Amino acid sequence: MKRVLTAAVLVPIIVYVVLWANFWVFLAVLSAAALLSYREYNGIAAAYGFGAPGPVGYGAGLLLLASTSEAWLLLVALALIAFSLALRGDLAKSLPRAALLFAGIVYVFGCWKCAIPLRQQSPHWLMYALLVNWAGDIGAYYVGRTFGRHKMAPRVSPHKSWEGAAASVVTSVLLAGAYLVKFVPGITIPFAIALTAAANAAGQFGDMAESAMKRGAGVKDSGAILPGHGGFLDRVDSTLFSLPVVYACLLLIR
């Protein structure tokens, strides 16, 4: 019940912000989502024993989120900052600390950044990118729970099954794909099916990647901020992987 109530409160707010809010409200909400995601990533990373990436990641991540400069140059600068900061403390842990800091900035803020140009192209592109995982999660949850027999990756996520994964793709294609065709002019049905299947598959890898990070750190949930859902990062790990796939495809068809 908590899971349903949390979704009932959050989904209308997200839909409003994506489709109708002005840019500054959207950017504020996006920044808050990125900061919450990074906060929970920071906790997972700290559990590996090399030291938490620390507060610098928040500022560097917001810089990446807001930057309009050449992305590759900014990423190089962030990598150099990460390596410089790792010089303090136990030098035997300096390289892992730098890697955790840099990877977290790119993983969280870099992926969320894709939401900005998607919405600028059309709010429906961003709504579609979010719907890919919302729809997929519903299909995976109910079908996997009832019919799941063949485990997908038991070491990483023992409850995930191939049946649930297939249902996730099908549900996503039917709902998110239909949304894309209806609300974005010029999108053909074959393209919508292919893109939705690819974005959904990326999202499922994102879910398992975060599960692997948590298992490696000995952490059950990334947090407890969302009643019935666990941590915030637990809810958006699929979206973080799907957003770059959708944006990359959008760049190809422009």
Listed residue (220, 236, 247) closest to 47, CA to CA = 220
Tokens 């892992």 locate to: 96
Position 5 pLDDT exceeds 70? no
Tokens 């598959």 locate to: 201
3-state DSSP of the chain: CHHHHHHHHHHHHHHHHHHCCCHHHHHHHHHHHHHHHHHHHHHHHHHHHHCCCCCHHHHHHHHHHHCCCCHHHHHHHHHHHHHHHCCCCCHHHHHHHHHHHHHHHHHHHHHHHCHHHHHHHCHHHHHHHHHHHHHHHHHHHHHHHHHCCCEEECCCEEEEEHHHHHHHHHHHHHHHHHHHHHHCCCCCHHHHHHHHHHHHHHHHHHHHHHHHHHHHHCCCCCCCCECCCECHHHHHHHHHHHHHHHHHHHHHHC
pLDDT of residue 153: 77
pLDDT of residue 133: 93
Contact 100, 45 (CB under 8 A): yes
Residue 13 and residue 183: Cα distance in Å, rounded? 20
What average pLDDT does the segment 208-231 reach?
76
Calculate the average pLDDT of the chain.
87
Q: Which position has the higher pLDDT, 198 or 139?
A: 198
In the Cβ-directed half-sphere of 238, how many Cα atoms lie within 13 Å?
22
54: left (phi over 0), alpha (psi -120 to 50) or beta: left
Position 223 pLDDT exceeds 70? no
Pick the range with the lowest mean pLDDT from 39-53, 84-98, 101-115, 163-177: 84-98
- Our measurement of the distance from residue 36's CA atom to the centroid of its chain's CA atoms, rounded to an integer in Å, reads 12
Q: Which position has the higher pLDDT, 104 or 147?
A: 104
Contact 203, 136 (CB under 8 A): yes
Residue 178 and residue 195: Cα distance in Å, rounded? 12
pLDDT of residue 241: 95
Residue 192 and residue 178: Cα distance in Å, rounded? 8
Q: Where are the domains of the chain?
A: 2-253
Residue 83 and residue 102: Cα distance in Å, rounded? 9
Q: What is the pLDDT of residues 159-172, one digit of tens each?
A: 788 888 999 999 99
Read off the pLDDT band of 232 (50, 70, 90).
Answer: confident
Read off the pLDDT band of 124 (50, 70, 90).
Answer: very high
pLDDT of residue 98: 87
What average pLDDT does the segment 186-204 reach?
96
What average pLDDT does the segment 155-183 reach?
91
Tokens 């959050």 locate to: 10
Q: What is the pLDDT of residues 20-58, one digit of tens each?
A: 999 999 999 999 999 999 999 999 999 998 888 878 889
Residue 236 and residue 106: Cα distance in Å, rounded? 15
Read off the pLDDT band of 6 (50, 70, 90).
Answer: low
Q: Which position has the higher pLDDT, 147 or 103?
A: 103
What average pLDDT does the segment 189-198 reach?
96
Q: Which position has the higher pLDDT, 93 or 12?
A: 12
| Helices 123-147/232-253 angle, 10° precision | 130
